Amino acid sequence: MKVVVFSENNYGCGASIAASRLVKGLTKEHEVLFVYEKNKTKINQFKGININTWQLGETQNRWKNAIYRVFYMIARLTSTNIDRWLLFKIFNKKIKSIQPDIIHFHNTYFTHEQIAALSEKTPVVWTMHDQFAFYIYNYKITKFDGNEKIYCPIQEWRKRFYNPEKLLNNCNANVTFTPPSQWLVDLSEKRNAGRKAIKVVHNGIDTNDFYPLEKHQSRKSISIDAVKFTLLFLAGTGAWERKNSIVIFEALKLIPDLDIQVVAIGSVSKFKFEDSRVIKKGAVYSISALREVYSSADVFCIPSVLDNLPNTVLESLLCGTPVLGAKAGGIPEMIDDGNTGWLFDPYSPRDLADKITMLYNDFENVKNKSETCRSSVIDKFSEGTMVKNYIKVYNEIVR
């Protein structure tokens, strides 16, 4: 099978990480070209892997690069799609030269006409990591304070270039959508109404990348207490309202005497709080450092008010750390409540505080879940399972 996988970024966000993991898995038995537009990281996630990559809109020719920049500036000044027109011409030329069996988008800003044109010659699979393909915004959430917020709504002038209805109504457009969670499948079908194929394909992860480390040594490596009950969470800045870290701080206020430590990875600068139990550790990027972070915790908490199929849950479970997850989006699909983790209401600090207290008092049971956590990912979310499921989708479409 010859596959072109397209991702806006090469790494650095959940969608691009999922794309790179698919590429890594597919490359073992298939011919793959990984296309990306933006180079978001200096970490080489493909080190030691023989993989073809191509950065769309970047060449070794400085004059061509200058032309790309000029087209980009003109597009912004004139509110036109001229830069996407140029990039599509270049991308389409590449597609014609290599003649893949499948074009697999993970995130893209091509127009509905361009996607349809590609799909008429080469079947397109579009893995949705958010609601954009059907709703032209990333997420619509109800924040912790009860107000609604839309993340990354498409600019008004761009709506004439990407219209979901026109893509869905185009009978010649051979596009199959593959949301990673059943939650997003159900949400998409409300708009799709059977016009295009939608198939759930879970994100996968290389089970050799994440595995349990000795807990005391991991805690020593990141300089935290070796004995205390440890709750871990990842605090993001870009989507901090959706990631909902505030509910953790509100829950801690309800259990001021609980002798625990709470490790925050990333930035918590958005929140003003006074609690000596919270230890801020800053951002962590490398897989080896993440293994230590997950392994150091007794429980990983993900309090998002909305998330699709977050990679962090898989990473934590593979490291043998059970997950205290919000009952929102696709998170409940990843957690076997009571066995590999526990679910709570992301709008209720009281519910979260009670769950933390319960886990603190049932510490021995929490510690015994490591093997079950890891097995749950190996059985359902491994890289091999993901690749097998995508190949099945590819073959069905090609036939």
* Residue 206's pLDDT band (cuts 50, 70, 90): very high
Give the C-alpha separation, 345 to 251, whole Å: 12
**Homologous superfamily of 215-380 in CATH?**
Glycogen Phosphorylase B; (3.40.50.2000)
**How confident is the model over 240-260, as a mean pLDDT?**
94
Q: What is the pLDDT of residue 109?
A: 85
pLDDT at 142 over 80: yes
Exposed / middle / buried, residue 61 (Cβ in 10 Å: 0-12, 13-18, 19+): exposed
Give the C-alpha separation, 126 to 279, whole Å: 39
**How confident is the model over 198-203, as a mean pLDDT?**
96
Give kind and range of the element (H or E) at residue 142.
Answer: strand 139-142
**Reported pTM:** 0.92
CATH number corresponding to 2-204+382-398: 3.40.50.2000
Q: Where in the chain is the domain with CATH 3.40.50.2000?
A: 2-204+382-398, 215-380
Q: What is the pLDDT of residue 271?
A: 66
Residue 50 three-state SS? coil
Distances (CA, A) of 112 to 8, 83, 124, 303: 16, 15, 12, 34
Q: What is the pLDDT of residue 278?
A: 93
* Residue 39's pLDDT band (cuts 50, 70, 90): confident
* Residue 238's pLDDT band (cuts 50, 70, 90): low
Q: What percent of the chain has pLDDT over 70?
A: 96
pLDDT at 113 over 70: yes
**How confident is the model over 381-388, as a mean pLDDT?**
96
pLDDT at 41 over 80: no
